[in-house]
Amino acid sequence: MNDSFDPFSDVASLQLAVTDSFCELAEQTVKQNGVFRVSLSGGSTPRRVYEMLSERQLPWDQIHWFWGDERNVPHDHADSNFRMVHTALLSKVDIPAANIHAVPVNVDAPAEAAEQYEQTLRDHFDEPFPAWDLMLLGMGDDAHTASLFPDTLALGEQNRWFVENWVPKFDGFRYTLTFPAIESARNIWMMTAGEAKQQALKQALKQVLSGETDLNRYPSQRIKPTRWFVDAAACGAA
Ligand code: 6PG
């Protein structure tokens, strides 16, 4: 856990800090390795980050964009994580199409789409598991992260990198990276904002502080972020 767990006063300063840190890490990594491979989070917290990134000078040709999870809806659907990122960032910047790796959603055959995306990931990463330069994650009120929801099958996956995951509360499938394919990232940033996240964050920190876990109930407990971006409201300090 990064040495400073100081909560940000509000979500806006949290989002600005993620944006600044993203730019710094991307520049540094491209200088060192010539490429920066990032897995994006869906949800509402990172949207403003993506919007602010679109106003920055970045080595766009050397950055590859992947999704850590996706909803089982077409890319032009309001719930699509692809659409959210496209609207906030990708449509505003001249990014080579070959650098944008959207989940090839297939509403009627999610298992096939998940296998196809896993192959795309394996084409880009040849280590046992993908060594992302940056893994952006959020945490749900129910302590899910990516689309690894409580009491779902994907929680136990140890070999696959990317799977379809049946989520009873949505009566539908989601697509998600598996834990091993998240934990292999060089940098894992957990963004958690808002009062509604207090319980989930408390459980996630329980693991950090005491090692106590109930992964089926609190999937976020399995994640060991290299950096936490939390706000006072999520910490109950607002
Ligand atoms: C998704 C996300 C999900 C998200 C959390 C937090 O597709 O919904 O990837 O894991 O990060 O639900 O979402 P908020 O940022 O909206 O609180």
The per-residue pLDDT for range 34-83, each reduced to its tens digit, is 999 999 999 999 999 999 999 999 999 999 999 999 999 999 999 999 99
pTM listed for this prediction: 0.96
Residue 171 Cα, ligand 1 centroid: separation in angstroms? 17
Q: Is the CB of 69 under 6 A from ligand 1?
A: yes
Residue 94 Cα, ligand 1 centroid: separation in angstroms? 26
Which residue's C-alpha comes closest to atom 8 of ligand 1?
A: 43
Q: Is the CB of 45 under 6 A from ligand 1?
A: yes
Q: pLDDT confidence of 1, banded at 50, 70, 90? A: very low
Predicted confidence (pLDDT) per residue in 70-126, tens digit: 999 999 999 999 999 999 999 999 999 999 999 999 999 999 999 999 999 999 998
pLDDT for residue 238 = 67
- Contact call for residues 135 and 185 (beta carbons, < 8 A): yes
Mean pLDDT of 213-233: 93
Q: How many angstroms separate the most distant Cα atoms in the chain?
A: 46
**Two structure tokens written together for 184:** 């292999």
SS3 of the chain: CCCCCCCECCHHHHHHHHHHHHHHHHHHHHHHHCCEEEEECCCCCCHHHHHHHCCCCCCHHHEEEEECEEECCCCCCCCCHHHHHHHHCHHHCCCCHHHEECCCCCCCCHHHHHHHHHHHHHHHCCCCCCCCCEEEEECCCCCCECCECCCCHHHHCCCCCEEEEEEHHHCEEEEEECHHHHHCCCCEEEEECCHHHHHHHHHHHHHHHHCCCCCCCCHHHHCCCCEEEEEHHHHCCC
Q: How many CB atoms lie within 10 A of CB 46?
A: 27
Q: Is the CB of 42 under 6 A from ligand 1?
A: yes
pLDDT for residue 2 = 46
Q: pLDDT confidence of 4, banded at 50, 70, 90? A: low
Mutate to test the pocket of ligand 1, among 69, 105, 148 (most ligand atoms within 8 A of CB): 69
Mutate to test the pocket of ligand 1, among 145, 170, 178, 182 (most ligand atoms within 8 A of CB): 145
Q: How many CB atoms lie within 10 A of CB 155?
A: 18
Mutate to test the pocket of ligand 1, among 11, 39, 41 (most ligand atoms within 8 A of CB): 41
Q: How many CB atoms lie within 10 A of CB 127?
A: 8
Residue 32 Cα, ligand 1 centroid: separation in angstroms? 31
- Contact call for residues 184 and 177 (beta carbons, < 8 A): no
The closest of 178, 176, 174 to 73, measured between CA atoms, is: 174
Residue 42 Cα, ligand 1 centroid: separation in angstroms? 5
Q: Give me the chain's average pLDDT, please.
A: 95
What gap in Å lies between CA 214 and CA 216, rounded to an integer?
A: 6
What gap in Å lies between CA 93 and CA 223, rounded to an integer?
A: 32
